[in-house]
Chains A and B, each alone.
Chain A
Amino acid sequence: MAEVEPSVLSNGSDNSRARWKHLDNFLTRPGAFTDSEFQAGLGIERLETIKILVIGAGGLGCEILKNLALSGFKNIDVIDMDTIDVSNLNRQFLFRASDVGKYKAEVAAAFVEQRVKGVKITPYCGKIQDKDDDYYMRFNIVVCGLDSVEARRWINATLVGLVDPEIMDSLKPLVDGGTEGRLPAQSEEVIDFEADGPTGFKGQAKVILPTITSCIECQLDMHAPRAAVPLCTLATIPRQPQHCIEWAHIIAWEEERKDITLDTDDPEHITWLYQKAFARAQEFNIPGVTYSMTQGVVKNIIPAIASTNAIVAGACCNEAFKIATGTNPFLGNPESNNYMMYSGDDSIYTYTFEHQKKDDCPVCGNLAKEVEVDGNRTLQEFVESLAERPEAQLKKPTIRTEEKSLYYQSPPSLEKQTRPNLKKKLHELVSDGEEIAVSDPAFQIDFKFKLVFKK
């Protein structure tokens, strides 16, 4: 067994590695599962030079920053646009009551830098969409701790787009963690509410090698939107307390307080909605409307606890560490497991498997995705269905075929010009099996679909 004295490899004195004695046992000793090319001590150098990007400084992000700093990473950037809220304090352990209102990325970066000597953490308080390809090109690994599927899809498409087969460094492994259950539906015509079982003890961690293994877009059906309640139920036949709350949220507010922008963090606004919902529930004899439920429905609150974040973030950073150092095989090698699901509400259960890359993935595949449609439905109905279809989830689609523009969301002149198509039936606009390209302002890429008519 090849053992190397750590002090020989580090640039400084013996003492400079004393702090990393535990880590160095793995960086300097091969194990039973390490690759035959494992070079003792190489990991120390790599950890010094690798640039790693953390997206999200919330529940998962706080854990991820701490874990990476104590895994020996030295150059970390973190992006988050949010500020600290009092309801974050039960799990986001880098924040204190006195930090409420400050930017998460800034407070988190400063805290970890102060606690773990020698790590440099650069915060950016803003949106991931603010940054361009040159920015993302600078990193070697990206770790995501997000609660929004849209942001995940955006960074995923960006990283897939960066890959240039000529440039080795253009392939950035993406490690993604999540603790949410099913995600909110995105159509404006349908309203969802939390009717799920417990989600707070569940999570997932996965590794993506852009263009090589299954990407976030390939996995989109794993995040199917929740069952939706039609607007007409809210308007005419409410049955559940949540229906009354959504009625207050969507209909009553629009009718009575149109000029005030709803701020779900404003207690006065929530109180108003609660009282409206309560009165409506009484009218229909529906029990169960509470302030807490009102808040939960309106803000689409997902239960969240520190321990679940610790599990998911630990799994993600373990993979990032293995990728960076080669100290053991990592998830996401082609043709091996790349996805771990964790469930802790009934004993502990993990399912670790290989999620298959899809040839018709609109982001990383090269074939158009087949979509079955009813040729007698209108383009308008098809446009609406794109928001709900688990494999699409596109809110503001612009649609064209190879030859013609079917519908443009913008500019206004083109929107006006293509608007009459919305009333036409699909079979009048496209032929059976024809490919269409769909773009959406939330994404930089085109989605290719092949429309197959229902027989």
Chain B
Amino acid sequence: MGDVTPPPLQGPTAKEKKYDRQLRLWAASGQAALEDAHILLINSGPGVVGVEALKNLVLPGIGQFTILDSSVVAEEDLGVNFFLDESCLGGFRAEHCCNFLKELNPDVQGNFVTEPLQSFITKPNALQPFTLILVTSPVVPEILATISVYAQQHAIPAFYTHSVGFYSHFSLLLPPAFPIVETHPDPETTTNLQLLTPWPALSKLAEEKTHGLDSMIDDDHGHVPYVLLLLYYLGRWKASHNGLVPQSYSEKTAFRDLVRSGERTKTAEGGEENFDEAAKAVLKTLNPSAPGSSVKEVFAAEECQNLTKDSANFWVIAHAVSTFHQTHSVLPLPGAVPDMKARSKDYIELQNVYKSKAREDVAEVLATVRSLEKELGRSIPIDEKEVEAFCKGAGYIKLVRGRPFHIARPNEMVKWGDRARFAAGALENPDSLILLYIAFLAYDSFVASHLIDALGGAQKVPGLDAAEPDTQKMIGIAEAIIDSLLNEASRFIKDPEYSEIKHASARFVEEIVRAGGSELHNIAALTGGMVAQEVIKVITKQYVPVDNTCLFDGIASKTSVLRL
């Protein structure tokens, strides 16, 4: 080798330069997904949180956005919304925000609709162009219900957001099955070396490289890769333990002592790095590679068990990987080897043994996929790369089951269904912000029953004029929601806990009423950041999104995520 000339260099393109810092997070595949997205923002209230979220999506280059908002820019908008200025006064807010947002990135297409939501939404196929919908409160319950049903039926992700004073909330409605392959787990905690089930090539390499370990010269002894040292000592351990590997914690610490006993301490450095690495890896790596609960959930899913001709690729591959697991009792090998003290040649050899095994495993899964495709009569073969990516991340795949929005209607209690027990339990957990969520439900319920005009257009938010009477009304609504939840969960909380819950609830409510429907720019910006992170995760199908409700308390500066 040596003199091989590197390939002619294609420097990064202008786009790669501009997006460098984000491509390192979600790669070209994630970027392509963003560029295919068309996001609809249904804007309402002071309208800041939605526009701030869009800002964070226009910058990384989503394909298109559309703002639906029929309000006209007023003086008070200029004190809270950064994407408006004096020249916009009296114009449509949707139009001016759209124009200012478009300035941020010439690659993004922006549109606006100033037609009232009530008439827009009733048009046939009104929502058809959009791949994701952001709704900001307040919104008429019937319209939120329409959007919720549409999103579920068409597997379109939708967000419903509140930003009121120091508090905010969003719920994320995902399709009924939302699988994620590229979850990006922390590589340090997810290394899978399958040392307890070595395959022949790995065992052979270990034998070869640890042959005559005790008589090696110091320099050789200090460069045996720790993975091979562990395999060597596992062999010795098994010989004196009826062929069994160390299993209990005490056995593992005894095994670690055995490894340590092989370390030469009279070296110049007073020890050996490779032995140190080996000892440190014992507790972390000598675990049977049983799939985690989220992987089991995928294997057990109805969609995985009963494939059809039209099953999504994910389920076909999941079925094949599940078959692999049934046959071998392990998941396909990811094939990555962490860096370790070793000579270059030995390390590369070790790396190649892992890579070849990973390729063999992919080939076996791929063969199963191909035979499944034939059985099912599928015409378009699944891309090999998709199978490869699945196998690589198999241990950390994740399935999120989307759930509909709660719609708060006046004189009708929200139904908590199979989450009632959880939600009622959360009432007694001081770290949970469920009471803030209930305060937002009360807010929606209040808004829905206080229309400013009889036509069902403008709505009155609590605290708009004088705070006091609205506070009492809101406290009553929130208490009714709490009681109805406890009732649905068949749970009884006695005093003083019950009174404490009501007191805490009243404080959240009072703070919400104080806002009089106003947004604070900081909270809107922060919440717009959280919503944008989630939108990116959902569109790129990378990392793990919130399932399914997130609350932010800007007084305590903390969040709470609840599955409701």
Chain A interface (Cβ within 8 Å of chain B)? 1, 3, 15, 18-23, 25-26, 29-33, 63, 66-67, 70-72, 86-87, 89-91, 93, 96-97, 114-117, 195, 197-198, 200-201, 205, 237-240, 267, 271, 274-275, 278-279, 282-286, 291-292, 295-296, 301-311, 313-315, 317-319, 321, 328-329, 331, 337, 340, 342, 344-350, 352
Contact = CB atoms under 8 A, between A and B. Distances in A.
23 contacts: A3-B466, A22-B46, A25-B165, A26-B518, A29-B514, A31-B165, A66-B521, A70-B79, A70-B80, A70-B82, A87-B21, A89-B105, A197-B188, A198-B184, A198-B543, A200-B22, A274-B6, A282-B1, A305-B22, A305-B59, A306-B59, A307-B536, A328-B554
Contact of B339 (A96, A239, A337): A239
B519 A310 contact: no
A26 to B, nearest CB: 7
Contact of A26 (B85, B184, B344, B520): B520
Interface string B15-31: 01111111111000000
B407 interface: no
A180 to B, nearest CB: 12
A348 B559 contact: yes
Contacts of B344: 237-239, 284-286
Interface in B509-551: 510-511, 514-516, 518-530, 532-534, 536, 543-547, 550
A168 B63 CA distance: 53
A348 B339 CA distance: 30
A321 B559 contact: no
Nearest to A351: B558
A337 B553 CA distance: 14
Given A329-B555, A346-B543, A283 B1 contact: yes
Given A23-B520, A26-B165, A67-B522, 16 more contacts: A1-B467, A18-B75, A32-B508, A87-B20, A115-B82, A117-B86, A197-B184, A200-B22, A286-B348, A291-B9, A305-B59, A318-B523, A319-B557, A328-B166, A346-B185, A352-B557
A347 B22 contact: no
A237 B342 contact: yes
B561 A306 contact: no
Contacts of A237: 223, 342-344, 347
A328 B530 CA distance: 22
A278 B4 CA distance: 10
Contacts of B533: 201, 305, 307-308, 311, 344, 348
Nearest to B86: A117
B11 A117 contact: no
A116 B347 contact: no
A306 B56 contact: yes
A198 B23 CA distance: 12
Given A292-B12, A305-B60, A205 B557 contact: yes
Task: Name, among B86, B166, B546, the residue most crowded by chain A CB atoms within 10 Å (CB to CB).
Answer: B166
Contact of A282 (B4, B19, B526, B557): B4
A19 B467 contact: no
Contact of A239 (B105, B342, B468): B342
A33 B82 CA distance: 28
A303 B543 contact: no
A193 B520 CA distance: 40
B138 interface: no
A314 B55 contact: no
Contacts of A267: 11
Given A25-B516, A318-B523, A331-B557, A305 B75 contact: no
Given A33-B555, A115-B82, A314-B522, A306 B532 contact: yes
A278 B6 contact: yes
B557 A318 contact: yes
B518 A22 contact: yes
Interface residues of B, number: 98
Contact of A90 (B18, B80, B340, B532): B18
A331 B555 CA distance: 8
Nearest to B548: A347
Closest CB pairs A-B (n = 3): A314-B526, A310-B529, A197-B186
Interface in B312-369: 339-340, 342-345, 347-348
Given A115-B85, A349-B559, A91 B342 contact: no
B187 interface: yes
Contacts of A239: 339-340, 342, 344, 347-348
Contact of A347 (B16, B468, B544): B544
A90 B543 contact: no
A308 B59 contact: no
A91 B347 contact: no
Given A23-B80, A91-B21, A345 B518 contact: no
B508 to A, nearest CB: 8
Contact of A63 (B2, B466, B525, B527): B525
Contacts of A97: 106
Contacts of B514: 25-26, 29-32
B523 A314 contact: yes
Interface in B210-244: 223
Contacts of B78: 19, 116-117
Contact of A23 (B6, B79, B463): B79
A286 B352 CA distance: 10
B507 interface: yes
B15 to A, nearest CB: 10
B82 A32 contact: no
A307 B55 CA distance: 9
Task: Name, among A1, A22, A97, A349, the residue most crowded by chain B CB atoms within 10 Å (CB to CB).
Answer: A22
A337 B448 CA distance: 37
B466 to A, nearest CB: 7
A197 B507 CA distance: 40
A70 to B, nearest CB: 4
